[in-house]
Amino acid sequence: MKKNLLWLLVASLPLIRPAYAEEWLAVRETSLEVQAGSPLDFSSILPETKIDENTRIIINPAGKLAMANDATKPQRFLCASLALSPASGGFPDHDAADRYALQLKRHGYNIARFHYVDAALMADRSKDFDFDPQVLDRVHYFMAALKRNGIYWIMDGLSSTRGAYGGYDDRWDLKGDLKVDAQIGDEGFNHWLTFQKAFFSKVNPYTGIAPIRDPALVAIVPFNENGLEFDSMVQEGVRGSAFQKQLRPLFNDWLLKKYGSDDALKQKWGWWTKEGSLEDRSVALPTNRNERSERTRDLQSFFIDVEQNATRRMTKALRDLGFRGIVLPYNNWPTIQTGISRSIQDAVAMNTYHDWVGSYEPGTSIEGKSSLEDGLRYLRTVGAARWLGRPFVITEYDHLFWNAYRYEAGLAAPAFAALQGWDVLCRHAHGPIVLAYGEDFKFKKQILPYTIALDPVARAGETLSALVFRRGDAKSAPLDIPFLVDGQKGLPQGVNDMEPELLTRLGLLGAIGLQSIAEAKPGVVAVDPAREGETPMAIVAELKQAGRLDPSSPSDLDNGKVVSQTGELQLDAAAKALALRTSMTEAVAFDKVGDGVELGTISVKKADGRGLLSLSSLDGVPLGQSKRQLLILASDARNSGMRFRDADQHVIENFGHLPVLIRRMTVGIRFEGPGTFKVSPVGLDGRVRPPVATAKSGETIQLSNDTPNGPTTYFLVERAE
């Protein structure tokens, strides 16, 4: 009764609404299809590839992705995430697939990741491997449409824990043991393998070739996010134990092989051996994943053996089916243990998030913090989990809605990825674009976490990513800072220990990643295999002494005031500011402008709120000579009627509805180069509107996203001599 009364009292309290609702402007566009030849159509400024055997993607001798016919030229891939569940509309029909694929090309994508295809094929199916024929046809056609538009594929071998078993209606939930069973037993592995044969090995009627042999298929993630520790963690509440019970007999067999007797085990473990014995195979798994002990150290070694054996077995199975591309197991969880598991792979994939959201239910909360004030920790952490000299793929990342700082991701992710020399960048979403607002599907009725297609701020960020990352406006650092690994000697006592956060700050200067101590080059400044005692500023001092860093360049990793080794990327963590200065793009993400920010050809003199501003050449010449440029101005966006439970707007009550609203923003900008600059709003569909401002060199103008045709995030800048 008391519980019910308390609920009634809470429910009767007035919901806290935004304090500045008058600053939000309704988006007027309905169609979001980018117009051909418009400033947002990148198909003419980014190379289109005819995908065939000559342009099959390989790993070149330098450990980069490249085309078979031009192995010396590394390729960067901007990835379109396609997690198309029924709630987001599912896979499009043929006409929509053609339009969608063309739009992805115009937006600058050159690879797509198919995610949860198994769940889509098996939705509402009662028999194992009884694929929905309409969904299968649509998947096949969509793959062909992408290929025709020069867009490669990354695909999951399986995504759902339900695999292709019939009779489940929770295929998008994290329930079931298949991720574990596929690694430790024949039944689970054979189920996984049967799906590879049933889907990947059957000829696609629209391409005339089986996907597994198609040069469009660059990589396969054998089973999404299937690390033993990670899967046990996310399902602990479902299973009722810290670790899967079916691992216990295998762990005991492993311990017996290693130690041979209870006495030898006791000498190593101490009092932890009181829980069972090797004699009857009853040694217990930890009941608390936060346990720090020799038992958990051995558990990690056991996980490594299981995961590496599974990697070898799945890779061989895919090769036997004819796959020549890249295999990307264990694509998340940047722990020390999983890093060693991935050491045998030809390439590494990772997932990472800032301010992760796991539910759409009322009461779901975010932290609402900037990713800049912690120095891009979510990106640095996965950067330290790669293996240097091998391709690195981000299969998922996001700075999630409704975090008001998510405009940062549009600059931070592509600029950091470029600095690190990463190969593929994929912002996770149900789909990165929509053809129009107002589609009648559950996840398209308002902006939600992972619905970046409906979010003008995320979409603006993806637009900038196409230029900064895929086009190559930002350079990769020639400086590598290896984190040396001496086999399993560095395994910690905690199963979830990661590389020390302080040391990953070195990634703000140059490329970081793991490297075997056997591959370490003499004289190269590196992080010692024994991390204890290593400090980032000591490494910086060594780099400067070795002539690898400019002694005068800001590199205060302790306080977050850093300029990258390339000189292009500048972070001021305390000010929540990040700037990029290249010949083709200048950009700044800011909390406050303060005294102004000089970027080079453009300066930001003032702003009435936080946001992202960038200027990029559209005519293939540096900004100083460019006569046609794209200016991006991204503030914040939300849904109409959106409500929160708290004054800080961190706890959601109701996501609201369309139309989408953009926060009004005005900035003072000054063009520093010679000439006269005409500024015209560009709609979210790429249509150029009448000019709203003209400025001469050195003249400051006020530019607002509140334009006569409605709010926007884009402007065309045309320069006349």
Q: pLDDT band for position 44 (50/70/90)?
A: very high
Mean pLDDT confidence for 673-702: 96
Adjacent-strand bridge partners of 511: 480
Share of the chain above pLDDT 70, in %: 97
The rounded distance, in Å, linking the Cα atoms of 155 and 654 is 34
Helix (H) or strand (E) holding 218: strand 217-221
Strands 706-707 and 710-711: antiparallel
- The residues, ordered by sequence, that sit 6+ positions from 580 with a Cβ below 8 Å of its Cβ are 411, 415, 468, 474, 568, 569, 570, 586, 587, 588, 614
Mean pLDDT confidence for 612-638: 98
pTM for the predicted model, two decimal places: 0.95
**What is the reported pLDDT for 174?**
83
**What is the reported pLDDT for 14?**
36
Distance of CA 174 to the CA centre of its chain: 20
Q: Minimum mean pLDDT among 4-13, 236-245, 369-378: which range? A: 4-13
Mean pLDDT confidence for 492-511: 97
**What is the reported pLDDT for 13?**
34
Q: What is the DSSP string of 25-44?
A: EE----B-PPPTTSTT-GGG
Cis peptide before 333 (omega within 30 of 0): no
Mean pLDDT confidence for 634-650: 97
The rounded distance, in Å, linking the Cα atoms of 172 and 230 is 17
- The residues, ordered by sequence, that sit 6+ positions from 239 with a Cβ below 8 Å of its Cβ are 232, 245
Angle, nearest 10°, between helix axes 294-320 and 247-259? Answer: 110
**What is the reported pLDDT for 22?**
53
- Give the start-end residues of each E strand in 541-595: 555-556, 561-563, 569-572, 577-581, 585-590
- The label of the residue with tokens 């090769």 reads 319
Tokens, residue 658: 């369309």
Query: What is the Cα Rg of the chain in Å?
Result: 26
Half-sphere exposure of 379 (CA within 13 A, CB side): 30
Distance of CA 181 to the CA centre of its chain: 27
Tokens, residue 95: 């006409």
CB 705 within 8 A of CB 664: yes
Answer whether residue 3 shows pLDDT above 80: no
**What is the reported pLDDT for 5?**
31
**What is the reported pLDDT for 240?**
86
Tens of pLDDT, residues 411-465: 999 999 999 999 999 999 999 999 999 999 999 999 999 999 999 999 999 999 9
**What is the reported pLDDT for 47?**
86
**What is the reported pLDDT for 238?**
85
Strands 392-399 and 348-354: parallel
DSSP category for residue 347: S
Q: Tell which wins on pLDDT, 171 or 10.
A: 171
